[in-house]
C-alpha cells in the first residue's frame, strides 16, 4: 500500500498499487488538486486516521532525529498512518524521509531526489556555540536561539 502526501496530489502521482491518505491532506489541497483527492477516494483510496499511540511514536522519533521542529501536524500524522499501515510513504519532504527511515518506513519520492542518508541532527547555540542533541528552542546556558546543524 502507498500512503500519499500532499505533494503526490500536486504532482499528479499515479500508481497501480492500493493507495491511502489522511483527511488532513485533503484539507491542504485546493482547486483541481482537491478534486483529484476526491476522485481517488471515490475510486477506492483508503482514508486512514492514525491512533494517538502511533502519532506519539512518530513525535518521539522526530525528536530523536532532530526533525521535530520541521514537521507539521499533517506530516506527523502521515508518518503515523504509514507506520500503522506498514505502507510506503510517497513524499518529497526531506524531514519526513529522514524520520521515515528512522522508523523503517519505506519511502518513494516523486519530483526530487530522496535523501542519501538518515541524519540525527544536532543543535548549536548562536550565542555561546554549545551543541545539544535535542532542540530546546533556546540555549539553557545563555538563552540564545538554537539552530539545526548537520552532525557530520
Q: Domain check: are 6 and 76 in the same one? A: yes
Tell me which residue of 114, 147, 141, 112 sits closest to 128, measured CA to CA. Answer: 141
Claim to verify: residue 86 and residue 146 sit in the same structural domain: no
Could you give the number of structural domains in the chain? 2
Burial status of residue 144 (CB atoms within 10 A of its CB: 0-12, 13-18, 19 or more): middle
What's CA 137's distance to the chain center, in Å?
20
Q: Say if CB 3 and CB 109 are below 8 A apart.
A: no
85 and 51 inside one domain: yes
Q: Give the residues across from 20 on adjacent strands.
A: 3, 46
Q: Which backbone phi and psi does 90 adopt, to 5 degrees?
A: -100, 105
In a domain, 74, yes or no: yes
Q: Which domain holds residue 145?
A: 121-152
**How big is the CA angle at 60 (ends 54 and 104), to the nearest 5 degrees?**
65
Q: Tell me, what CATH number does 39's domain have?
A: 3.40.50.1010
Per residue in 35-53, pLDDT (tens digit) is: 989 999 999 999 999 999 9
pLDDT tens across 109-151, in order? 987 654 455 566 677 888 888 877 776 677 887 888 877 776 6
CATH number, domain with residue 141: 2.20.28
Residue with the bigger pLDDT between 8 and 148: it is: 8
Residues 133 and 81 in one domain: no
State how far the Cα of 50 lies from the Cα of 80, in Å rounded to an integer. 6
Same domain, 98 and 23: yes
Report pTM: 0.74
Say whether both 130 and 103 belong to one domain.
Answer: no
Amino acid at each position: 500500500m502507498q500512503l500519499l502526501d500532499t505533494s503526490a496530489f500536486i504532482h499528479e502521482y499515479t500508481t497501480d498499487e492500493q493507495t491511502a491518505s489522511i483527511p488532513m491532506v485533503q484539507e491542504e489541497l485546493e482547486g483541481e488538486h482537491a478534486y483529484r483527492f476526491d476522485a481517488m477516494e471515490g475510486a477506492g483510496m483508503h482514508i486512514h486516521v492514525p491512533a494517538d499511540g502511533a502519532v506519539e511514536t512518530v513525535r518521539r522519533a522526530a525528536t530523536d532525529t532532530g526533525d521535530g521542529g520541521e514537521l507539521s501536524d499533517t506530516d506527523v500524522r502521515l508518518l503515523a498512518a504509514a507506520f500503522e499501515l506498514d505502507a510506503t510513504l510517497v513524499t518529497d519532504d526531506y524531514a519526513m524521509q529522514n524520520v521515515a527511515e528512522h522508523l523503517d518506513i519505506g519511502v518513494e519520492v516523486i519530483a526530487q531526489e530522496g535523501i542519501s542518508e538518515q541524519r540525527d541532527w544536532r543543535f548549536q547555540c548562536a550565542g555561546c556555540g554549545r551543541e545539544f542533541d535535542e532542540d530546546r528552542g533556546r540555549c539553557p546556558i545563555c538563552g540564545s536561539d538554537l539552530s539545526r546543524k548537520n552532525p557530520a
